[in-house]
Amino acid sequence: MTDTTADAQAPAADEAGRNPAAPGGARTVASAVTPALVERLARGITAGEGAELVVTAAPLTGEPLASLPQSTPADVEEAYRRARRAQQAWAALPVRRRAAVLLRFHDLLLARQDEVLDLIQAETGKTRLHAFEEVLAAASAARHYGRKAASYLRDRRRGGALPVLTHTLEGRRPKGVIGQISPWNYPLELSVSDALPAFAAGNAVVNKPDTQTALTALWARELLVEAGLPADVWQIVVGDGPVVGPAVVEHADYVSFTGSTRTGRQVAQQAAGRLVGASLELGGKNALLVLADADLDRAAEGAVRACFSSAGQLCISIERLLVHRSVADEFLARFTARTKALRLGGGLAYGADMGSLVSDRQLETVTRHVDEAVKAGATVLAGGRPRPDLGPLFYEPTVLDGVTPGMAVCTEETFGPVVSVYRFDSEDEAVEIANSTPYGLNSSVWTKDSRRGRAVAARLHTGTVNVNEAYAAAYGSVASPMGGMGDSGLGRRHGAEGILRFTEAQTVATQRLLPIGPSHGLDDERFAALLTTGLRAMKALGFR
Ligand code: NAD
């Protein structure tokens, strides 16, 4: 594999256009993702004969990558028909049999990771290490639900209406067919980490990945089928978001959506109109707090990962750096030096620190946010420009100072490698700035006193908080819920909530010996008096 890396701040070889000699070129991508593989995967899409084809491009080069059949709303209906048929037999299996499929998937995924790493890189343009994060996250979710599903889903004995006489069980039933809509930024992780618990709970899934990254989702489906999932239990449809997305929501028994807050609101409204539930994993404007007592070297290293992993196209990545004024100069010197030293690259080998953006739309947003901020008076401490010499969609990791509330980069999610610096004088002020956006996804706190870090965390309005780590500590804790407060979403993935959302609670109460009503010659009045005594006794005896 050719080495494709270049220092973030090295002069661009050709400011005007792509450097034709730039590594990570079409040949490199094509050699990893063969036409035969693409063709085989594309056959996994539920789409009719003669479906319209859409061609995706590899972000690293702009070269065509795959030609994918587009599903129509009628194809989506067909996908639901197949999924519904298959779901019944799947749900009838013992939960341990279903969970065993997840554990086999875990092993196959780790064994075959090279193939999917190539695919992820080809479809997203991210570095191999950032692609590997997806393998890590997907395998962790498979292990967790493979091991814990039976315990999360088992019938639980509850106190009955009448002690001894009423035997009550709380059970969990699958919702049926889950409509799952996913974005392009973590195509492996976001296609499986929600689908796996849904399957373990006995559901089928109709999934619409983003067209740009559909191959990765199709690859994951193939692997899960190899691990033992009946093929029809996971249907994949592909197509234009505003057309195929609503068709997926239209037939779902529950919706699992990951994407922007704007689309999430539309999905939530449509689901509410149908009275089906939805979990929504949405955008963020995440803050990292460097407290006065932080280890500045560790904080600078962590902040670089927090801001620039997957070129900032990570929902939980950091776009606001809040630094205590007493350490701001020292911290920023270390942070900007590390940022400038990042090696950008698009090769399919480990080694590069930051890859490409995924699309023209992403590049346009990043460029606009930075250019507008600079025009309005912000200062560039590092980066600040596209790097067409490396590939059509590269943009330097960028640090901005002097960002003010009127600038889009201050309040809107950029979803790119851009972070703004703010200074604070007290913990109260830091918490106030961190909580000043309508979002509430993730945050990160750096301090040598981890107890203090956790106390600050409790005041932050975000679904996850990482103390002395960027984002992976909380996200990787798959036994614990992950999701957003406020405009960052509804519901949670991971942990008990991550699987129970795909179930309906059902209470089955069996009455024994005596009915709950006047009987054995008791008239209404004596029955009421008896139950009044019974209620008093239950409270006195500590019944809950
Ligand atoms: P997006 O909302 O544009 O698209 C997400 C998905 O929704 C795509 O599959 C798209 O085709 C589909 N879609 C588009 N219009 C639709 C409609 N009207 N009805 C139903 N589906 C529709 O988001 P994006 O730009 O692809 O992804 C980036 C966003 O996702 C960012 O805001 C990021 O923060 C967020 N995200 C959140 C998480 C999380 O866990 N909270 C994870 C990853 C990404």
| 402-416 tens-digit pLDDT | 999 999 999 999 999
Q: Which atom of ligand 1 is nearest to the CA of 249?
A: 20
- Clarify whether 281 is annotated catalytic: yes
Q: What is the pLDDT of residue 461?
A: 98
Ligand 1 atom with least separation from CA of 270: 19
Do 95 and 130 lie in a common domain? Answer: yes
If asked whether residues 143 and 61 sit together in one domain, one would say: yes
Is the per-residue pLDDT at 68 higher than 80? Answer: yes
Q: Phi/psi of residue 303, each to 5°? A: -65, -35
259 Cα: distance to centroid of ligand 1 (angstroms): 2
In this structure, are 404 and 460 located in the same domain?
yes
For residue 347, what pLDDT is reported? 86
Instruction: Indicate the number of domains in the chain.
Output: 3
> Is residue 22 in a domain?
no
- pLDDT tens digits, residue range 86-142? 999 999 999 999 999 999 999 999 999 999 999 999 999 999 999 999 999 999 999
| 258 and 329 co-located in one domain | no
- Per-residue confidence (pLDDT) for residue 348, from 0 to 100: 87
Mean per-residue pLDDT, 392-407: 97
* C-alpha distance across the termini of the chain, in Å: 65
Closest of 321, 82, 98, 281 to residue 197, by C-alpha: 98
Q: Which tokens go with 376?
A: 């309005």
Which residue range(s) make up the domain with 261? Answer: 33-281
Residue having the nearest C-alpha atom to atom 39 of ligand 1: 281
335 is a domain residue: yes
Q: Kindly report the average pLDDT of the chain as a whole number.
A: 94
Instruction: Compute, in angstroms, the gap from residue 21 CA to the centroid of ligand 1.
Output: 34
Of 436, 459, 483, the domain-final residue: 483
Q: What is the DSSP string of 211-230?
A: GGGHHHHHHHHHHHHHTT--
Ligand 1: distance of its center to the CA of 208 in Å?
11
Tell me the CA distances in angstroms from 334 to 228, 295, 304, 337, 417, one per residue in order. 50, 11, 10, 5, 18
The Å distance, Cα 16 to ligand 1 centre, comes to: 32
Is residue 134 lining ligand 1, measured as CB closer than 6 Å?
Answer: no
201 has a pLDDT exceeding 50: yes
3-state secondary structure of 304: helix
Among 223, 442, 201, residue whose Cα is nearest residue 319? 442
Average pLDDT rounded to a whole number, residues 476-504: 98
Q: Are residues 240 and 328 located together in one domain of the fold?
A: no
- CA 427 to CA 405: how far, in whole Å? 20
Name the token pair of 173: 């039933």
| Distances 353 to 130, 393, 395, 435, 436 between C-alpha atoms, Å | 9, 16, 13, 30, 31
Same domain, 263 and 317: no
Q: Which CATH number do you get for residue 142?
A: 3.40.605.10
In-domain check, residue 337: yes
Q: Is residue 427 included in any domain, yes or no?
A: yes
Which CATH number do you get for residue 466? 3.40.309.10
Q: pLDDT tens, 307-366?
A: 999 999 999 999 999 999 999 999 999 999 999 999 999 788 899 999 999 999 999 999
The residue whose C-alpha atom lies closest to atom 13 belonging to ligand 1 is: 241
267 close to ligand 1 (CB < 6 Angstrom): yes
Of 123, 222, 281, 469, catalytic: 281
Integer Cα distance of 363 and 348 in angstroms:
21
Average pLDDT over residues 10-19: 35
pLDDT at 1 over 50: no
Say whether pLDDT at 214 is over 70: yes
Both 220 and 332 in one domain: the answer is: no
Residue 352 lies in a domain: yes
In contact, 344 and 396? CB cutoff 8 Å = yes
510 in a structural domain: no
In a shared domain, residues 186 and 318: no
Is the same domain home to 265 and 300?
no
Q: Are residues 117 and 45 part of one domain?
A: yes
Asked if residue 259 is part of any domain, the answer here is: yes
Which strand (E) or helix (H) includes residue 57? Answer: strand 53-57
Are 249 and 309 part of one and the same domain? no
Of 529, 520, 537, 478, residue with least CA distance to 189:
478
Q: Is 230 in contact with 86 (CB distance < 8 Å)? A: yes
Taking the C-alpha atoms of residue 421 and residue 96, their distance in angstroms, rounded to an integer, is 49
Q: Do 329 and 269 have their domain in common?
A: no
Considering 281, 316, 338, which residue would you say is the last residue of a domain?
281
What is the arithmetic mean of pLDDT over 34-53?
94
- The pLDDT > 70 percentage for the chain reads 94
Distance (Å, whole) CA 449 – CA 96: 43
pTM of the model: 0.94
In the listed set 281, 303, 333, which residue is the last one of a domain according to the structure?
A: 281
Is 441's C-beta closer than 6 angstroms to any atom of ligand 1?
yes
171: phi then psi, degrees, rounded to nearest 5: -115, 170
In a domain, 27, yes or no: no
